[in-house]
Chain A
């Protein structure tokens, strides 16, 4: 099983450029999430989605946009990249289930550097 797949794995951008990070999951999960990980700060939620066609803001949404046109995909966009967005980005997905403490499943991350 592939689980959660993120593309690309690495990317270097110049300030002001735009790009889209793709997350795909094959577990038929309803919920999907985008996080950024910075040293000493754990993971911070950027945006999330509780179902196809829905998105919601997380803790640090500024400078990012997302779309969930298909249940299995969750796209994270940077319209005008800034050096402060240099980070490692993780996508995760989660089943609804009857149990509210269903765990999130994570991809391997995208390492993004903004010069």
Chain B
């Protein structure tokens, strides 16, 4: 069965520092991968998705993620953190067994940004 592991339930960075949120997936075939962001008291918003057209995917708000098949990873990065980036981030993979109709989510990583 497919699964998603997000390393680190909490990550804290200083404003202006590099943001790195880790996501590893398990899949025997090339997966469809997503990163979502959840701001307090809101629903999830799509940050970016892996389409297989390019291994480096650019998303909204300056975030990007790199698909590395050899490492089964899809880590999310941003060169310089802003206070407004404080939120919870979820990595997700489409469930191939379910005909790609369903998403399997990681447990989430809460990002704190300090002045």
Is B26 interfacial (CB-CB < 8 Å)? no
Instruction: Decide yes or no: A104 and B103 within 8 Å by CB, A42-B108, A90-B44, A109-B42 being known contacts.
Output: yes
Our pick among B32, B43, B94, B108 for the contact of A90 (Cβ within 8 Å) is B43
Scan residues 57-115 of chain A and give those whose CB is less than 8 A from a CB of chain B: 58, 90, 92, 94, 99-101, 103-109
Chain B: which residue is nearest A48 at the CB level?
B102
- A108 contacts B105, CB within 8 Å? no
Number of interface residues of A (CB under 8 A): 25
- A4 contacts B43, CB within 8 Å? yes
- A101 contacts B49, CB within 8 Å? yes
Chain A residues with CB below 8 A from B102, complex form: 33, 45, 48, 58
Given contacts A42-B90, A43-B103, A103-B46, 10 further A-B contacts (CB under 8 A): A44-B105, A50-B101, A90-B43, A94-B101, A100-B100, A101-B32, A103-B34, A104-B46, A104-B103, A108-B42
